[in-house]
């Protein structure tokens, strides 16, 4: 993926007219994610490295890791996969803690 354009860019291009999805890039495009605020989801490619931005800036978002198979049939199919996640989590309170629970605090 280092030489080719990131596959989430093509998905974001297809979703450009949607107000609920946006492409997030940081660190000279080394960090690439698709973000949805409602429901609070952030999508990343499995081969993308972990980044502290996921924990700091997007700690309230559920991280969805897209596998290589999710990209195998092109960006339109990947967008449909993302949209199915949006539908699945629509209206759900994800109850994501802003930090890891303390020992014994597993409610």
pLDDT per position as a tens digit, 76-104: 999 999 999 999 998 877 665 554 444 44
Determine whether 29 is exposed, middle or buried from the number of CB atoms within 10 Å of its CB (0-12, 13-18, 19+).
Answer: exposed
Beta bridge mates, 35 = 22, 42
Q: Is 31 helix (H, G, I), strand (E, B) or coil?
A: strand
| pLDDT in the model for residue 69 | 95
pLDDT of residue 22 exceeding 60:
yes
CA 101 to chain centre: 23
| pLDDT in the model for residue 105 | 45
């Amino acid at each position: 993926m280092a030489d080719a354009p990131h596959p989430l860019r093509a998905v974001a291009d297809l979703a450009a007219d949607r107000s609920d999805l946006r492409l997030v890039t940081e660190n000279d495009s080394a960090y690439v994610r698709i973000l949805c605020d409602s429901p609070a989801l952030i999508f990343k490619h499995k081969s993308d490295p972990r980044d502290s931005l996921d924990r700091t800036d997007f700690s309230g978002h559920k991280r969805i890791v897209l596998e290589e198979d999710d990209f195998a049939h092109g960006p339109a199919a990947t967008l449909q996969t993302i949209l199915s996640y949006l539908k699945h989590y629509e209206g759900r309170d994800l109850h994501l803690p802003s930090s890891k629970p303390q020992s014994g605090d597993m409610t």
